Structure 1
């Protein structure tokens, strides 16, 4: 019938005609979000979660103000969700081998672990110079100022290292060297003053030893930040060999002093050489080409390094208490270099390598997972494997150091369990630090250190049992924080 309306097949009186999608007129300006989606099409299509796109936008330097002005949305997360909705999911396989920036050699990480542990032999060589009656808290002579100076150094140098690494990340190597030079001098002064303040009835040689300890910690931080681990290892080797020799044959005090001062002098000179200002074009050659014409105008905030310093303080106190249980009942050589502390220090080499392995595994999980839940499961499985590997290495090192260390107490059930729980605290804390969640890790570790300090001062319970409770609580809290971050793509940047 010529007067009826034509209706498509399958439509009827109860079916409304489809409303055509609005189209942008040809004369109208293109949608900037569409243009951005087209430009980032491959990346957005392969994204597992909008947070992954937000991380890319932030890394490109887009601020929230720029995003509101250009694209008319609230912030980077809102823009990421808009792009995620507009682009169809695709997960293409790369044409060639995928670049993995987290692939590192095991040998280099083990070398750093050895470098961390070698200074402990300095206390073995210096034991005769610290001889005397037991001092405060019933500890061997000179222990309190040495511990106080060491904790001050660990705290200060953790924050200093973060600030120097921040400058290096900005491509400003001269500024990194300058911060290390000034920071190291201040750190040496701080460590010496703290040791002097708590010296009490200790012999003056303990304060002198603590001052040398502060010099070493500062110079070693410089060398480690600037990637000079091999030079540091070479400087410490004669002192370490001399300390091992004392276990089998008496060594004259003069020889001990020469070995200690010789290694300290070499490490200090090497560190000074790294941070000494370059003359002429030497400063310019140290900078990447892209930064030479536009020097850095704004550097990292000082407060940004504070959580890293507090994390160093908290973990340092916990490691010290792991050896204090032996020092309270052992000889004076156990005061600083107890087998538990040595094992924990050596384990930092495998810990670092396994952290890199986890980051590599999470990168592979981002490529292979198609949903946030699948990504969380993949990263959770990887973190369990890496943590298990670290605890296995810590267990082996603990057994070996206890067997080889003279007059060391055998590892019991409570002592071993506490040591492994402390290992969980250290590794998960380092993992959170790599996630950028160092504030949470620092808070938990400092709270655990405070709780254990109060228990020691008030003589509440057996130190090993108290440590077991404190380490277990801290480990569970840090593990919960890790689980909360595993599924967030932005945490794996």
Structure 2
């Protein structure tokens, strides 16, 4: 999910009257006011608008340029025309005849399942730790840590951008193109992650290189399954490895069994991922391009569709870059937290399930606010209360998970602030303001890296200061978008 506001799918239903593109020329003394004509044609939509920006977005989506607006209606641009229309039509908020369509309604269980799927792969490191035995590296970290971290960061960056592009195709209703994107992108990302890990490790740690290569393959296959909505399939594939890791914590497990569990789970996930995208090999390229408006939004990764994204040309590659940058920045921040306190990082990963559900809850509540609010000020007040409520519930969930790991004091404060950064970043993505989120998180990751590399300040206080500053910056960006009605459509 640029910081500009764009009309998402479904924001202008087919029942709305079309904006007139031509009008019959009449003598000036007999010609009615064209603005009144337009107001009459768009009466229902204008009467239900909370803010003139909604009307301006409708005018722009219908292709009216500022030059056309000046010639036909005598005002300087779409915003001026929208304000004029907003003033001329009395506010009305009629209730729909049937149930209101809400694309943001999702179940809590599904989101919790995704959070669990995000956290379970961490048990693979429990099984693989004895296989990476050796002296600490130059940074004082366990053997093989740096190649694994480098491969993970590369994988998160690549797969975040890949998921955005695949979700873009799904938003256009072209599942075949989404599968084709995953089929090409996932292996490329796995190869890139493996090469990065090998370059960092050199030739002296073959076990770490092999482990990092398996990690990269898993990230690519898991991305394909998650994008296509196969969370339960992925969970089933990970359960044998997870059970083996839990048993390894209780009783010694032979290295051969550890290797079999890790390689077996990886092979199953890779095969399942291949089967999920394999239909694209047999499908002709022209099939699957019919727009299916029943496809709901898919959380943080799916962008809003714009007029430039058509089933013919497809989404632009450059549109995925900010999402990849956001993945790199947030991955860096989470890895710093993981290196400092692994149980706390597990709590943070598990909290992503409630975070996703609360994001949906906010977007659903903002749509309800659009229907119930009578003025822009009332709508801003409604959305501000809703975002505060959702953020508070998320922090309460993260606090409970973190306290269960025994984290207290400064580390707890830093982790909670990092949770604010992640949740507000996801919210900005859903608004389409991913550039702002990527810029803030990248600055925070760079600042923390420089501070740790140069030993500036106390290591215990670096994270809370960096995370707190980033949280304030992103909260300001969110507040700037709360009152814009078009951001919530």
TM-score range, shorter chain: 0.7 to 0.9
Alpha-carbon distance, 1:34 to partner:
3.5
SS of the residue corresponding to residue 250 of structure 2 reads coil
1:419 aligns with 2:415: yes
Secondary structure at 1:118 match in 2: helix
Q: Quote how far apart the aligned CAs of 1:252 are.
A: 1.1
> Hey, what's the Cα distance between the residues in 1 that align with 2:204 and 2:457?
28
Aligned to 2:296: none
Counterpart for residue 137 of structure 2? 135
Q: Deviations over 1:367-401 (max 9, x none)?
A: 1211111111111111110000000110111122x
Q: Does 1:386 align with 2:382?
A: no
What is aligned with 2:191?
A: 189
The Cα shift of 1:185 comes to 1.9
Residue 91 of structure 1: aligned partner: 93
Question: What residue ranges of structure 1 are gaps of 5+ in the alignment?
Answer: 1-23, 327-337, 403-409
Relative to structure 1, the CA distance from residue 92 to residue 389 in structure 2 (aligned partners, 3 Å threshold; closer, same or farther) is: same
CA contact (8 A) 2:173 2:288 kept: no
For these two proteins, the number of residue pairs brought into alignment is 448
8 Å CA contact 1:132, 1:141 repeated in 2 = yes
Residue 411 of structure 1 aligns to a residue in which SS?
coil
Q: How does 1:171-190 map to 2 (within 5 A)?
A: 171-190=173-192
Q: Give 1:304's match in structure 2, choosing from 312, 319, 337.
A: 319
CA–CA distance in 2 between the matches of 1:278 and 1:109? 28
Residue 83 of structure 1: how far off its partner (Å): 2.0
What is residue 479 of structure 1 aligned with on the other side? 475
Match of 1:273 among 248, 272, 275: 275
1:289 deviates by: 6.7
**Residue 175 of structure 1: how far off its partner (Å):** 1.7
Instruction: Point out the structure with max Rg over C-alpha.
Output: 1
Alignment of 1:61-100 (within 5 A): 73-100=75-102
How far apart, CA to CA, are the structure 2 residues paired with 1:79 and 1:195? 56
Secondary structure of 2:93's partner? Answer: coil
1:147 match: 149
Query: For the residues of structure 2 that align with 1:73 and 1:165, how far apart are their CA atoms?
Result: 39
1:17-39 deviations in Å (ceiling 9; x for gaps): xxxxxxx8698566554443223
**Structure 2 residue aligned with 1:313:** 328
Aligned position for 1:455: 451
Aligned to 2:103: 101
Shift of 1:87: 1.5
Within 5 Å, which residues of 2 pair with 1:285-434? Answer: 286-288=288-290, 296-326=311-341, 338-400=342-404, 402=405, 410-434=406-430
Question: Could you say if the C-alpha distance between residues 161 and 65 of structure 1 is closer, same or farther in structure 2, counting changes exceeding 3 Å?
Answer: farther
* Equivalent in the alignment of 1:443: 439
How far is 1:136 from its partner? 2.9
Q: Secondary structure at the match of 1:312?
A: helix
Distance change (3 Å), C-alpha of 1:342 and 1:89? same
The question of whether the paired residues in 1 share the 8 Å contact of 2:361 and 2:390 is answered with yes
Contact 1:135 1:201 in 2 (8 A): no
TM-score, normalisation: structure 2: 0.86
| Contact 1:155-1:309 within 8 A present in 2 as well | yes
Please tell me the root mean square deviation across aligned C-alpha atoms, in Å: 2.3
Native 8 Å contact 1:174 1:286 kept in 2: yes
Matches within 5 A, 1:156-171: 156-171=158-173
Q: Please report the TM-score for the alignment, with normalisation by the length of structure 1.
A: 0.85
Q: Is the 8 A contact 1:145 1:199 kept in 2?
A: yes
> Aligned equivalents of 2:383 and 2:291: distance in 1?
37
Change (3 A) 1:36 1:472: same
CA-to-aligned-CA distance 1:181-209 (integer Å, 9 cap, x gap): 22112211211111111114751110111
CA distance in 2, matches of 1:191, 1:279: 25
Cα separation, 1, equivalents of 2:458 and 2:170: 46
Structure 1 residues 283 and 263, CA gap change in structure 2 (3 angstroms): farther
Q: For 1:228 and 1:112, how far apart are their aligned partners in 2?
A: 10
Equivalent-residue separation in structure 2 for 1:339 and 1:266 (angstroms): 27
SS of alignment partner, residue 300 of structure 1: coil
Query: How far apart, CA to CA, are the structure 2 residues paired with 1:210 and 1:393?
Result: 32
**Counterparts of 2:204 and 2:65 in 1: how far apart (Å)?**
56
Q: Distance in 1 between matches of 2:446 and 2:469?
A: 13
Q: Which has the higher contact order (CA 8 A, sep 6+)?
A: 2
**Residue 260 in structure 1 maps to residue 246 in structure 2:** no
